[in-house]
Structure 1
Amino acid sequence: MEASSAGEKWERSKKRNYQLLLIADLKKEIEMARKLDPEHLAAEIQKIGFSCHHCGKCCKRAFGDNRVAVIPSEIERIREYTGLSKLEVAGPFVPEVPVQDETWEDEEEHPETSFRPSEENDDQRLSEENEELRPLEENEEPSSLGFLESLQEYIDSEGKIHAFGWILRRKRNGDCIFLERDTHKCRVYPVRPMLCSTYPFYIEELRLQICECEGLRYPISAEDSRKLAENLLLRYVSELEDTCAVYEKFMDFRREEKGLELAKTSLENGTCAYIVHDSNGINEVID
């Protein structure tokens, strides 16, 4: 028993030391990120070129990975704008469930959530009307029971899945819940996440990166390039700071073989218990 206890302490110590190294590296990257030149970044963007076609493809699951990671402050802005609850806006960010085929449910079978200005605050708040569209839940995807096995290292002894951060909810066909079907417009455009407002660009390891997008290589003005560069830098620093705060608050959890079986039992009963680690601390979620 003493040997086992000593071994567990040693493992915890190693993990804690690694955690401290990650935090130190993130703080260095944050410091360097704040020194990036927005003018140089804007020049890179203008050289590449970009003009959004408002096609909505980046919001649709059929065209690739459309998951949108969001930090707590972004969730709060959307929550205030829409009148939705936190868990209606976002859910736990876990790896995407493998799909056995590319057949998605017909969107017409699931009417969209529609919003209208609230009487409480006509220029900001929105409220739902008509039938609510239930968002996509991870435990509704194909092969979910088998998928839990790939998440075993994230499942604690009580069968709760530990997730790191949040993701915007999606419709049951995989599209973003805030995408209008007919117009391809974003229902929360004024408060959309930074990932959306800077797409298809992002910064990784202090360098500008791009995603696939039909709007690339179209002319962009110097002014728009500058605005995009400033938003990219804000996003980069904000996400780094948020990740650093997650690591600083994170406390490791006990893992046991029974945890996987408990998680499977919960899923068979129609629920999933999550512990979401974010920059505000720990959030318990039943999905």
Structure 2
Amino acid sequence: MQDLEAELERARALDESDLADAIETIGFECTRCGACCKSEEDDPHTATVFPDEVREVAGEDDERDRRSDDVASRSPSQSSRDWRDVARPMPYGLDEDGSGETFEWALQTNACGDCTFYEEDDDGTGACTVHDSRPLICETYPFSVALGGTSQPMGEAVDESGMVRAHECEGLGRDISRADAEDLAAALKERAVRELEEAIGVRDEYAPADPDAGETVVHDSEGAKRPDGSVYEP
């Protein structure tokens, strides 16, 4: 069994109760400070998003509109998002002009480098405008599990085994209910499994694209894509 497959089996075998114990011990409550949604100094916000999560966020407004009484009053631009509204090519490995080949997608950012779905009130309280369909990496922040093939942030070890990690966050150390800890643990396990499944898919689907000058190709578990999410065909 190859390394990624072995790590995937470890992820699937994670005990949610143990994860919840670690989360409950350190404690956590989101303070809505927005630090995890903003750029850091000159580095734009970068949060990995799976292809199906891109589609879910893109369709959130459509689903809300189907439940709304004023569907007819909404224009298409108000009721849907395209791929580029949600995600951008992961910048690592790309040229300065954004061309070249890269792996995976990052949530889209605004002109300030913050997550495009982050909003802040006048008092500085932040909010996610797609909270109900936010990606797993956002749902589980600031926690992660120490498995090969999973993404950052790794942070500091929380439990004795070193499996659960916590990135620096002002919400750590606050009281959390057992129910909330269990929900967070379930999401954390799901994220670990999904990240490894995605990594395996990327590996298996990858084929060098050799894009033309100025072109960008993104390799994900579904194959090679253009920045608008369409299939890349040289």
Which residue does the alignment assign to 2:179? 223
- Residues 37 and 164 from structure 1, CA distance in 2 versus in 1: closer, same or farther, beyond 3 angstroms? same
Q: Which stretch of structure 1 is more off in the superposition, 65-74 or 171-180?
A: 65-74
AA partner of residue 70 (structure 1):
V
Equivalent residue for 1:95, pick from 92, 96, 115: 92
Return the alpha-carbon distance in structure 1 between the equivalents of residues 40 and 195 of structure 2: 27
Q: Secondary structure at the match of 2:170?
A: coil
AA partner of residue 186 (structure 1):
C
1:32-85: CA deviation from partner (whole Å, max 9, x where unpaired): 111111111110111111111011111111477631110011101001013100
- Residues 40 and 65 from structure 1, CA distance in 2 versus in 1: closer, same or farther, beyond 3 angstroms? farther
Equivalent residue for 2:54, pick from 48, 51, 75: 75
Which residue does the alignment assign to 2:219? 277
Return the alpha-carbon distance in structure 1 between the equivalents of residues 106 and 117 of structure 2: 13
Structure index of larger Rg: 1
Which residue does the alignment assign to 1:172? 111
Structure 1 residue 226, shift from structure 2 partner: 0.8
> Any conservation in 1 of the 2:119–2:127 contact (CA below 8 Å)?
yes
> Any conservation in 2 of the 1:53–1:214 contact (CA below 8 Å)?
yes
Q: Secondary structure at the match of 1:180?
A: strand
Q: Secondary structure at the match of 1:285?
A: coil
AA partner of residue 183 (structure 2):
K
TM-score, structure 1 normalization? 0.62
Q: Superposed, which structure 2 residues align to 1:1-287 within 5 Å? A: 24-62=2-40, 66-82=45-61, 83-95=80-92, 144=96, 161-182=100-121, 183-205=125-147, 207-253=163-209, 263=213, 266=214, 273-285=215-227
1:223-261: CA deviation from partner (whole Å, max 9, x where unpaired): 11111101000011011101100100011355xxxx8xx
Return the alpha-carbon distance in structure 2 between the equivalents of residues 211 and 176 of structure 1: 18
AA partner of residue 57 (structure 2):
I
AA partner of residue 58 (structure 1):
C
Bigger helix share: 1
Q: Secondary structure at the match of 1:185?
A: strand
AA partner of residue 31 (structure 1):
E
> Any conservation in 1 of the 2:17–2:182 contact (CA below 8 Å)?
yes
Return the alpha-carbon distance in structure 1 between the equivalents of residues 180 and 20 of structure 2: 9
Return the alpha-carbon distance in structure 1 between the equivalents of residues 143 and 228 of structure 2: 34
Return the alpha-carbon distance in structure 2 between the equivalents of residues 51 and 285 of structure 1: 35
> Any conservation in 2 of the 1:274–1:286 contact (CA below 8 Å)?
no
Return the alpha-carbon distance in structure 2 between the equivalents of residues 31 and 78 of structure 1: 29
Structure 1 residue 286, shift from structure 2 partner: 7.2
Identity value in percent: 35
The CA RMSD over aligned residues, in Å, is: 2.4
AA partner of residue 48 (structure 1):
I
TM-score, structure 2 normalization? 0.75
Q: Secondary structure at the match of 1:172?
A: coil
AA partner of residue 12 (structure 2):
R
AA partner of residue 73 (structure 1):
D
Structure 1 residue 208, shift from structure 2 partner: 1.2
